[in-house]
Amino acid sequence: MNVRLTLEYDGTDYRGWQIQPGGPTIQGILEDALAVLLKQRVRVQGSGRTDTGVHARGQVANFACPDGRDLTRIQRGLNALTPDDMTIRAVEAASPSFDARRDARRRVSTNTACGTTLGATGYLRHMVRNIVGTLVQIGLGERDAGGLPALIDSRDRTQAGPTAPRTGPVPGGGVLRIGIRGESVRRMASFDSASRSLS
């Protein structure tokens, strides 16, 4: 059975989503908890990767589960076995073809320090952090918001602001929200209107 998880977490103490050496990851915590519950290892596929220290709300993942398992018990068990900074909001049966990564239609990043929301089907490496760095310059009066269209049209990263830290200008600055195909996603502020609100 293909199972869909919806979760949220405070990413402060994690090295992002994907399993990697050097510290705990969201994927690693989930896979370890599921191994205890299911008495076998399973691979959890996330809808998107996050950087070190980034939080998520509404992130979706899926995994192959042996048939006949009680999904309510899996949710309770995961919430009991994972740290307090992680919550499994829903555990649901999904269609056999559902893939959290491939079916993600929109990833939304919010920088709480700047009040900025960016939405896309995917992000390039450091893309959101580069945009936030530019928006911080605008907010500080170091750059004119009217120059953003030309900056974007130039496609020259060297003309943008500095890359913002992983957690944003203040601790807890980043939140990732994932929209899955077939679900409604709330309307996001456009890049232009978000940048104008800072000046």
Q: Among residues of the chain, what percentage have pLDDT more than 70?
A: 72
Q: Domain residue spans in the chain?
A: 2-98, 104-196
CA 175 to chain centre: 6
Does pTM top 0.75 for this prediction?
Answer: no
118/5 Cα distance (integer angstroms): 24
189/169 Cα distance (integer angstroms): 20
- What lies within 8 Å, CB to CB, of 182 at 6+ separation is 103
127-179 pLDDT per residue, tens:
777 777 888 788 788 889 888 888 888 888 888 888 776 654 333 344 444 44
Q: Identify the active-site residue in 10, 32, 51, 67.
A: 51
Residues 30-56: what's their mean pLDDT? Answer: 92
> Averaging pLDDT over each range in 56-70, 103-117, 126-140, 155-169, which range is the top one?
56-70
47 DSSP 8-state letter? S
Per the annotation, the verdict on 67 as an active-site residue is no
Residue corresponding to tokens 């555990």: 91
Checking if the pLDDT of 183 tops 80, the result is no
If one looks up domain 2-98 in CATH, what number appears?
Answer: 3.30.70.580
